[in-house]
Every structure is written in C-alpha cells, then in structure tokens.
Chains A and B, each alone.
Chain A
Amino acid sequence: MAASDAPNGDVLIRNAFGSVLAFLILLLIGVLAFSIRLFSVIKYESVIHEFDPYFNYRVTQFLTKNGIYDFWNWFDDRTWYPLGRVIGGTVYPGLTLTAGTLYWFLHSLNIPLSVETVCVFTAPIFSAFASWATYLLTKEIKGVGAGLTAAALLAMVPSYISRSVAGSYDNEAVAIFALIFTFYLYIKTLNTGSLFYATLNSLSYFYMVCSWGGYTFIINLIPMHVLLCIVTGRYSSRLYIAYAPLVILGTLLAALVPVVGFNAVMTSEHFASFLVFIIIHVVALVYYIKGILSPKMFKVALALVVSIGLAVCCAMVAVIIALVASSPTKGWSGRSLSLLDPTYASKYIPIIASVSEHQPPTWPSYFMDINVLAFLIPAGIIACFSPLSDASLFAVLYIVLSVYFSGVMVRLMLVLAPAACILSGIALSQAFDVFTRSIKFQLPSLSDHSHIDARDASSENVVLDDTIKTDKNEDTPKERMTKRSKKKEKEPVEKPPTKFQIKKRLSVLPFEASIIAVILLVLLVAFYVVHCVWAAAEAYSAPSIVLTSHSNDGLHVFDDFREAYAWLSHNTDVDDKVASWWDYGYQTTAMANRTVIVDNNTWNNTHIATVGTAMSSPEKAAWEIFHSLDVKYVLVVFGGLVGYPSDDINKFLWMVRIGGGVFPHIKEPDYLRDGQYRIDSMATPTMLNCLMYKLSYYRFVETDGKAFDRVRRTEIGKKYFKLTHFEEVFTTHHWMVRIYKLKPPKNRIRGKNKKSKSKTSSTTTSKRKGTRRNPF
C-alpha cells in the first residue's frame, strides 16, 4: 500500500500550504481592516472623535491614573451638577478596561504611548480582531473559503467603519468583535459539543456584557436559535452543551458587571433565555426518557407529562406575566421597547427620539452602509439552506433578526453588518466555487495536464490511469459520444475530481456563462471595495470636532470647538459650572475639564428638561434657573455665520419638547408659527425672546448688517437687542461656539425686587416644582 501513502502526503502538503496561505490572507485582512480605518488620522489627526468617545477617553484617563479600584468607586462630581454621577456603576467598563489593559501592557514594555494614542487606535485594532472572528464564525458555518471572503468583506464594511475609524473610541468598537466572537464560540460548541468551548463562550459573553448594552441581542438570539433547533427536530446533546452553560455561567458573570447587576435576572430582555432554558431541559428529559422506554410506554408517558407540564407552564407564565405587568414599563427599558414598537420612543420619550441615530434608517442608508452586500444576502440565505445545518440555521436567523432591528434604529445597522458580511461571504464563496469549477471542468486539456505533471512522481498507477483517460478523452470525444451513453462520457471527466474531492454532482454551467459570471462577480466586489474606501476616506473619517471645507483658496479648517474648550479650560476657574445642551456635556468635561449640568448620558430627564426650559425661557427666568444651578457660564453652538447645520438653533425644538415634557409652562406651539419652526420676522415672540435665540444671535446683525443666517437661509427676526443678565465672554473665530457669563445678581433694592418677583412669579414657581424633585 505504498501508493496510498503518497497521495496522503500530497494532501498533507496541500493542506499545510493551504493553511499557510489562509494564514497569510487573514494577516492581510487584519492589516486591511486596521489601515482602512486610518484615513481619519492621515486626513485629520490622531484625535478622539465626536461625543461619547470623549467620555470614554476621560474614563480611561481616570483608570490609567488611579487604578481599577478607584475606577469602580469613581463618583464623578464634574457632571450632572449638583447630582453627580457614579461612573463605576453606570458605565459599561469593557472598552475602558480593554484600552487600560493595552496601556498597561505597553507601559510594562516601556513603550510610552499616551492614553490618547491607545484610545485612538483601539477601534482599528479590534476591527482586525473582529474580521478574524468573522473568519472563524463563517468557517464553522460554511468552510474556509466562505470564512476568508466574509472576513475580507467585514474588514471594510462601511457600516462598521463608521463606528470604528481611528479615534472613534466607542463601545461598539470592541463590542462587535465580542459579538462575533461569542457567536463563533457558540457555533463552535454546537459543532463540537465541547464543554471547553462552552466555558469560553460564557467568558466571551461576559466580555460582551462588559462592553455594550447590545449584549441583549445575543441573549435573545441564541435562545431563539435553540428554540428553532428544537422545533425543527435538531435537538442534540451538543445543543444542550452549547446553551445550558451559557445561560447559567453567562447570567452569573453578567450579574457581576455593576451596570447590569440584577438586571440580568430581573428585566424582560433576559426572560427569553430562561424560558428556553426550561424548555431545553424538558426536551432533554423527553429525549432521555424516549431512550430508556419502549415506544409504547413512551407514548403513555408523553401524554402524562404533557398534561402536567402544560399545567405547570401555564402557572409559570401567569406568574411571569403578573411580575412583568406589575412593573411600570412592563419590565422593558425604553430603548428596548422602541425596538419592538418603533413608534414607542417618539410617542413617549423625546430624549430617545431626539438622537439622530435612534431614528429608523432610510433606504439609501442601507446602500451606503452595506452596499452590494444587500443584494448578496438573499443568495447567502439560499446557500445556507443547501444543506441546512445547525450553524447555517443560526446564520439565517441572525440575518433575519438583525434586518428587523436595523430597520428600527440606524444605530443597529452595526449589528446587521456582520450578518450581512457572513451571508454575502457564503454567497460569494459558493458562487465562485460553482463558476470556477465549471471553468475548470471545461478546460480539461489545461487542468488535466497540469495535474498529471504535478503528480507524475507521486503515484504511478494514478498517472497511468489519468493518461489513459485523458488520452481517450482527447482522442475520441465525439466518437464515444455517439457510441456510448452519456454517462460513460461523463465518468472519465469526473475522475480527476474524485481524487481532489471536488463535488461532481453539481451541475456544470456553460463555459462562457461561467467566465462572464466570474467577471461580473469580480466587478461587483471591486465596486464594493471602491465604495468602502470612499466611505472610509470621505464619509466616515471626519472627527466632527474639527470641520474642514474646501474653497477656492484651499482647505479651510474650522477648529472652533476646541478653541472654545481650550479657552474654558485655561481661562475660567476650575470649579466653574458650564451649562450647555447635553450634546456638548462629554466634550466639555473631557476637553475643558469643567463641571457641566447635563451630558450625553441623559440618565436624568428632569435635569435635562431644566436646562431645556432655561434655554427656552426669556432671559430673566433663564438667569434664575441657571443661577439656582450655580451656573457661571452658558455655552451655545451657533452655525449661522459659517453655515454649520447641527447647531443649537436647529436642535432647539427638542429642548422645547423635552423641557415641556417636565415643565408644562413651556409649550411647543408657542415656538411655532402655524406649525412651522422659523426664526425670521414671522417667528413668534416667545421664540424671539427665548434665551437660546438671544445667545445665538447676540450682535449677529453687526457682522453683515442684515443678519442673514446661512443655515436657515433667512434673515433673523429680531436683530437689535441687548442682554441684561448675561455678558459675552468668548466667541470663537467662526462664531461656532459662543460662551456667555451670568452677570452677578444686582444689589437688592426693595421696590425693584418686589416688582420683578411679581413679574416672574409664574416661572419661578414652575422652576421650584422642578427643582424640588432634585435633591438640591
């Protein structure tokens, strides 16, 4: 049997070569994933982006400076003044701990990278990890080829790039890796039935819980898959091992994360997993009993158990429903509820609806974010059904659910992206498989000769065989076609594939069609790559704290935000309080190091409403509210001079709505003329007298004489006015940030005091009502 060794060795070498090649490809994919996200650093600078990343950056700074124990106990008194915020208990610590660990590791090697650098590059590093995790997951589902394709697709999918460019130091950056890796370990456990992987899976789930609130997606998707497997009769002990440890260990570990705590067993988001946990035990019991009983006995037992089981289930369901119904939000948090009922947020929680990333996406945003993958997904789903395995069933379920969720909230497009990549990877890989095989079959002279040459030395009898066959094949193809049945003709052609383990049952496509199809597919993928690079370079790398515009005389940089924050940080007292709309809270605490009233955490609606009310009140009332909050400076963002559209005037209606939600004397219609929001001469007097209007447009008319607002494209309504309770202390170069100082209270003159008190009695009382709720 010497001959059997030779092909065996050949296969080994081929496998080794293949795995080295796959390893290299994976390495390159990692490099691609990392480097495509560096556009922001190259085009702009190595800086933290946007809003939330600044908070994470600040937390990381605290962690690296004070250590982990102080981090858990950190009470932050520089935000939500005067309430403060318990950071350690309200933050998902995964990202911070990851970056902190990275920082400590580098410093233990004496590589002096700053915290900022580590934070900036955390996201690109983890997207390389995420694409490797995608490879592993897809490999478990459909093999190495699909895995590599999916990994390459994920490395540059725009949706994921938008959240993980260098500098975008947000939870999602590491959470997507954790999500995919958890899924991989789940599928791996499902395929192997190994308890080792099941334990790893729980740990990975723990990391996910640490990283992002989106972990509820995992803890709902996996039970759904388990349920689906049970329903479709795919129950196996492997399924049990994959699921049961995850629920027990995972829930225990999740409860260790302070921000989750008892929510891991108390809120409805987690109930599905427990329910399925019970079901899987019942099913396991049934299978066990089925194994030890005879079929007849089993039927009797089944009837018995079903009747009792039903009763027990009913009782439990009743208890659960009663529990759920007793809690005010039915046990679901607002964000989760808005997932199930897309209109929920806009109806009840303006603060959730006011965030643009919580809006439902538009169709173009699908094309923008996942591009051609959107067309490949259906093909991938079909590929998953032939043949259907537990793993491919999971992929199908994942895509279906994530498509639904992404349709509810733009933000969750991020969850869709990996699923889209996996399925498109499967689709592409299978399609290429079919086409290239068809081409290979129909280039017999080419392929066979090369095969022969390659294997010439390895095994003689095989060569003998092949040469005979190919000779015949070439000599008399037509002759035999007529002579013999078609099957016989087919056989020799199929022979070499048998040795190379290529499936031969699949139908072979015409040669030209295959060539064209391959070219089209390559074109499609090329288009995808071009789009991704464009998206990474142009659409998603702007750090949003620095704006640029191209004009005739070159690049123009708008660095107003940092100008204002730098001014605040160097030229105000360290304990001064700065009031602004909550969007700028994180940046102010991180960059200016000043205490803010509200920030992007938005945990206290009343507090935000207080600021909203102040902004929408007339000057004196606003001064009183701010004064009661110890505010010394008020910061507004104004884009009217240079045409920066996301300024405070455009956000103003949300301030009115949120303020009005708590303090009813603020009424939205007062600010609208015939249902239209306008700031020109047709604007309502309430609008023209509110603080936000005044602070934004103070002395604006003197710039061009007409006070033309370039964002709203109109002349403003009230041009000349003076501020009595505020004074301008700083305005940035392009007027994008304006900072005002509260004037000190006037000396009290008896008569005057009385008069003003009676005048503003209504606002004062309403303010009192608001402040009484807060403990200050």
Chain B
Amino acid sequence: MLRFALTLLLFTLAFGVLSSSPVFSDLILAKVDRRIDLTSQIVRITTSLKVENAGSNPISEILLSFPENQAKHLAYLTATLNEGKGKGKASSGAGLPTEVVIPKDVPDSLTFYSVSLHKGLGKGESLLLDVLAVFTHALEPFPEKISQADIQLLLFQDTAHFLSPYKVMVQSVAVKLPEARVESYTKLEGTKLSGSELKYSPFHNIPPFSYLPIIIHFENNQPFAVAEELVREIEISHWGNVQVTEHYNLFHGGAKNKGEFSRLDYQARPYVRGASAFRRLVARLPPRAHSVYYRDEIGNISTSSLWGDSKKTELEIEPRYPLFGGWRTAFTIGYGLPLRDFLFESDGKRFLNFSFGSPINELVIDTLIVKVVLPEGSKDISASVPFPVKQWQETKFSHLDLVGRPVVVLEKNNVVPEHNEHFQVYYKFNSLSMLREPLMLIFGFFFLFVACIVYMHADLSISKSSASYLAKVQWEEVQATVQQIHNIISHCLTAHDKLEASLRDLSRTGDVQACKATRKSVDSLLKGVSKDLKPLVTFLQSSPQAAHILPKVEELIAKERDLQERLMAKHTTVVDCYEKKLGGREIENRIASNQQKITSLRQEVDDLMEFIDEI
C-alpha cells in the first residue's frame, strides 16, 4: 500500500520534472541546508536557503514547494530573512508573509507557497532565507498495531533532494532521530549514521523538481498526544478575572494497541512493558493562575499536581489511565487568571491579549476552537490573529444575562505549539454595565419583599360574598370578641386580686376604712365590666360561628360572677369581723367554706381562661 503510493508519487513527479517550465529558473538556490527533527511526534524541517538571482529582473517572491503527502500535514510555515552571517542564529525577527499560490504549468501534486520579500532581489544579489515547516501526523507507525511490550516504530518519508522549482547547487540533509535505534533507512551514497543523527552527504547541481525518496524506519517512544478537538473558552469578567476552560478530546496517535493490557506487566516494568504509552502531560499555565481544576464528565480526576513561581504555573496532569496507542480520553482543565495581566486599553478600546494554542507541551491539535466570551454589553468587537483562522460570533447566556454575552469564535485546524502566539480581541465596554447584574438582584429581592408585604396586607379573596369568605370574616370577629372577653375577665381577676390584697393590708394595718374604700371602687369597676360584657356576649350568641365556644364563654362568665360574689361576701365578712374585733381563728372559721369554693372557682376560671386564650 505504502510502496504503491510512493511509486505513484514518483511517476507524477517524474512527469513534473519533464514538463518543468523555465519561468522559475531565474533564481538559483546556491546552498540548501535541511535539518529534519524527528525527535517528537511533530516533524520540524528547518531549511536555510541561499537564494541568488541569476536572471535580470528583480524578483520579489520566492516559491516553496511541498509534495502533496506533506502539504496536507503541513501545520505551520514561516520564512525569515537571515541577515547575519552566523548559521541561522540571527534571524530578522518578523517572518515574511507566505501564502498559497497555484502557479501555471506546474505538477498538480505539488503545493506552492510564495514568500514575498520586502524588497525585490536585484540581479546578482543573494539572500539567506530560513524556512521552518512543521508537520503533524507525518510519521506513520509501522507496524500499525503493536502489543503492550513492543516498542513503537515509525516510518518517515521525504525526499533527499530539496524539492524546489529552482535549481539547487549544493544541498545537505541531516535527520535527527530520538534514539539511536533505527530499524532501517534508505541508503544512498555517502549516507552516514552517527548516534541518533542521520546524514545524507551533500548533493550537487540538482535540477528543479527533482525528488529522491528516502524512508526512515526508526524507534520513537515519545508521547503521541493528539487532541482531536480542543475547545478553549476564555471568559472575561471585569470584576477582575479571566476564566479559562479547556475541553480536551485526546488520543494516542501512535501505533495502536493490539487489545490486551496487563496492569501487572505495566506496573512491574513500566518502561519495557508500555514504553509507547504515556501517563502524564505537562501544561505550562500563565503565572498567577488560580482555582485550577482538572476533571472529566464523571467527576474530579485526583491525579494531578501543580506548582508555580512568578514566571509560570506548571500543571502536571495524569489521565485516569495510561494512554496506549489508539486509546482515547477526554477531560477538562480550567483556571482563573488575574484580569490585569491580559486586558489592556488603547485609544478608547479594550483589548485582550492572550495566547492562542494549548498550554500542554508538544500537543498536536487537529481542531482548535477558541471562544472569547466578552462581558454583556460589549460593542465594536474585532479580533486580530497572526495567522489565518475561521472566525465568527456567537451569543452565550450565562449568569443572569438578559441579552447574552458576545462570543468571538476562532477555529483553526492542525495546530502545533508554534501557534502559541498572542492574539488580540478588541472591544468597547462601558464600566457601568458591570453594575447591571447586582442591581438586578437587588431590585429582584426588593420587589419580592414588596410583593410579600402587599400580599400580607391586601385582602386577595376572589369573592367577597362567598360563604367561606364570610365565614372567615365572622370567625375573625368572633376571635376578636373572645379576645376582648378574655381581656375583660382577666381585668376582673386583677380586681379580685386587689380585693385580696386589701384584705391582707387589713390584717396588717387594721385600716378598715381603706379596705372598705377599695371594696367600693372594685365593686363599681366590676359593675362597669359586666355592662361591657353584655354586648359582647349577645354578639357571640348571634354569631353561628361561635356556637362551639359560646357554652365555654358563658360558663366562664357565670363562674366569674360567682367568684366575684363570693369574694365580695368574703370581703364583707372579714371586714365585719375586723369591725367587731373578732380573733383571727374566728375569721378563718367564718370564711373557711367560702374560701374553699373561691379557690376551686378560681382554678376553674383559670382553666377556662386558658382554653379560651388558645382559640
């Protein structure tokens, strides 16, 4: 299958070489150095080109070409002018703009990128160009399925000749491998393998579009963590927090596990039995990250550790289980960041300056969606990203929102750590809008309480003439009346107490007149009381609701009256006795029978009072 594809490719390339047009031949690549880095799952090819203009016209763009099988894996491409003499040490900083072009008369299976130079390259001039191309999924595991104990072997194919529309004078290739162990590699003239570095000796005078396939089959046990989809949500709160939530959908992109997994073997000899698996990932979060969490849909994952200093916060996370080839997992990490580190203001607009890619080291992301949730009420939103992304806007409803928060969504495929550049989202926001939600809450509760007060004070009966409503009103009246009666009786009882007190005073002072005066006043008081009682009792009698209370009330009044009379009688007797100067024992004897009745009556009245009070 693989071989077949290669031969096909060769055929097409050969065809391409034959039909190459002279358009490109003005430029000559005097020297090409290619360094291919295969140490991780991401293939990085650094090419330094010495370009010379052999033609007469100044040239302002240089074409870079990639075969189809590489172009579809190409994640990142930059070209920088190297002005210093040192070997690629002093790049001129900003990369040159690159874009896909489809020139005429070139083979279809090639994809061209054009690098625009700032100033044209005049006749006979030359420049040094550093090109970094990063590829994902360019390494094919072979064999595709391995068992737990096997090591992971990978296949990498490229061309030994630099594939270019221009003529190349001198070219060399150096391949850096992760480990010294190489299963096989295409041997060409002068190929050298020293340690973990494979070198193809310089080639001279390569015609344009020449392709010399090389295949390297080597061991690589680096973690092949691939995020199928990563959704980063960056939520800005002007109360001082940026909340980042990242949903990962991760799998091991290396050679698939054959099925059997023995924990015993893995625990006993983790580096032999399970070399290709990885169990931890390290994320470098911005400094001062707080409230970090790591969980998945079924709860917190307890295997993680966090440490940090003033420059960074490092979060080491372990998925629930070690990831073998082809195994998947999904999890979420979230953290808060101080707003002042990321939000700035420039000419009336605020802007968020945040890194685009994932904080996890050496992670390949197939689809990255970055959502920036701006506070409710933001206007004039625009985003600037250093590389092309798909961009659109959404609305998100969160805590107590009325119109929703604007969300800027950026989507990009094939993201590598090189994409961890800062992007900006500009927007306008009025600080007063911050107070909207607290005020809403305050008013919400205020109206709730007002509603409660209104409800408690308003009569909300639907029908004022319905039987139950009338009954309720009547019942309330009855209750009020009974309460009044209760008060009056308790008043009487205090009057009784007064009488008794006067008797005691008498026994102490012997002041008969004072005692008599008290009796008179009490008597008149009680008379008045009984007058007050009458209308109340008649009301109760007329009211049907009071039917079951009435007997008790009547009993109470009768008892009270009885008590009153007896007390009066007792009082008179005692006073008389004092007037007649009878002895204490004599007095006791005279009032003894009365006293007993009074006590029992008082008891009963109290009971009744209590009963009525409970109504």
Contacts and interface: CB of A to CB of B under 8 A. Distances in A.
A8 B484 CA distance: 9
Interface in B389-408: 397-402
Interface string B256-271: 0001111110001000
A110 interface: yes
A733 interface: yes
Interface stretch (A89-97, A201-209, A561-569, A685-693): A561-569
Most buried by A among B259, B501, B507: B501
A281 B599 CA distance: 46
Contacts of A732: 263, 321
A504 interface: yes
A744 to B, nearest CB: 11
Contacts of A16: none
A487 interface: yes
A8 B483 contact: yes
B259 A729 contact: yes
B261 A45 contact: no
Interface stretch (A271-279, A313-321, A431-439, A494-502): A494-502
B532 interface: yes
A12 to B, nearest CB: 11
B606 interface: yes
A110 B397 contact: yes
A702 interface: yes
A112 B491 contact: no
Given A1-B532, A47-B300, A731 B398 contact: no
Interface string A536-562: 000000000110000000000101001
A571 B328 CA distance: 6
Contact of A498 (B259, B302, B487, B493): B493
A307 interface: no
B320 interface: yes
B398 A112 contact: yes
Contact of B501 (A469, A591, A703): A469
A462 B300 contact: no
B490 A571 contact: no
Interface in B527-557: 532
Interface in B471-505: 483-484, 487-488, 490-491, 493-494, 497-498, 500-501, 504
A741 B257 CA distance: 14
B613 interface: yes
Nearest to B328: A570
Nearest to B504: A472
Contacts of A741: 259
Most buried by A among B298, B320, B488, B498: B298
Contact of B300 (A45, A109, A703): A45
A703 B267 CA distance: 9
B606 A504 contact: yes
Given A498-B493, A559-B320, A562-B298, A733 B263 contact: yes
Interface string A474-502: 00000000010001000100010011010
Given A111-B399, A563-B321, A7 B487 contact: yes
A543 to B, nearest CB: 9
A731 B259 contact: no
B381 to A, nearest CB: 21
Given A3-B491, A727-B259, A703 B264 contact: yes
B333 interface: no
Nearest to A464: B498
A557 B261 contact: no
Interface in B442-497: 483-484, 487-488, 490-491, 493-494, 497
Interface in A565-622: 565-567, 570-571, 591
A562 B487 contact: no
A111 B298 CA distance: 21
B497 A465 contact: yes
A735 B501 CA distance: 88
B26 interface: no
B299 interface: yes
Contacts of A462: 494
A730 interface: yes
Contacts of A703: 264
Contacts of A472: 504
A503 interface: yes
A27 interface: no
Contacts of B613: 501
Contacts of B260: 727-729
Given A45-B299, A110-B397, A741-B259, A566 B320 contact: yes
A520 interface: no
A699 interface: yes
Most buried by A among B402, B603, B606: B606
Contacts of A7: 487
A730 B264 CA distance: 10
Contacts of A8: 483, 487
Contact of B498 (A45, A465, A499): A465
A327 interface: no
A694 B30 CA distance: 70
A765 interface: no
Interface string A1-33: 101100110000000000000000000000000
B561 to A, nearest CB: 18
Interface in B565-615: 599, 603, 606, 610, 613
A357 B491 CA distance: 62
B397 A570 contact: no
B501 A557 contact: no
Contact of A112 (B301, B397, B488): B397
A661 B490 CA distance: 77
A232 interface: no
A469 B398 CA distance: 69
B329 interface: yes
Contact of A731 (B261, B483, B498, B501): B261
A8 B487 CA distance: 8
Contact of B497 (A4, A47, A495, A570): A495
Contact of B330 (A468, A505, A565, A570): A570
A728 B300 contact: no
A137 to B, nearest CB: 19
A758 interface: no
A47 B328 CA distance: 23
Nearest to B401: A110
Contacts of A570: 327-330
Most buried by B among A483, A727, A730: A730
Contacts of A546: 299, 302
B300 A487 contact: no
Given A495-B497, A571-B328, A47 B299 contact: yes
Given A7-B487, A563-B320, A571-B328, A465 B501 contact: yes
A461 interface: yes
B400 A567 contact: no
B610 A111 contact: no
A45 B491 CA distance: 64
A40 B268 CA distance: 35
Given A495-B497, A498-B490, A109 B400 contact: yes
B231 to A, nearest CB: 16
A699 B260 CA distance: 14
Contacts of A501: 610, 613
Contacts of A487: 599
Contacts of B490: 498-499
B523 interface: no
In order of increasing CB-CB distance, the 10 nearest A-B pairs are: A731-B263, A47-B299, A4-B487, A570-B328, A45-B300, A563-B320, A566-B320, A557-B302, A591-B298, A110-B397
12 contacts: A1-B487, A1-B491, A7-B487, A45-B299, A47-B299, A111-B399, A465-B494, A483-B507, A499-B490, A505-B606, A566-B329, A731-B262
Given A487-B599, A504-B606, 10 more contacts: A4-B487, A45-B300, A469-B501, A505-B603, A562-B298, A570-B330, A699-B264, A727-B260, A731-B261, A732-B321
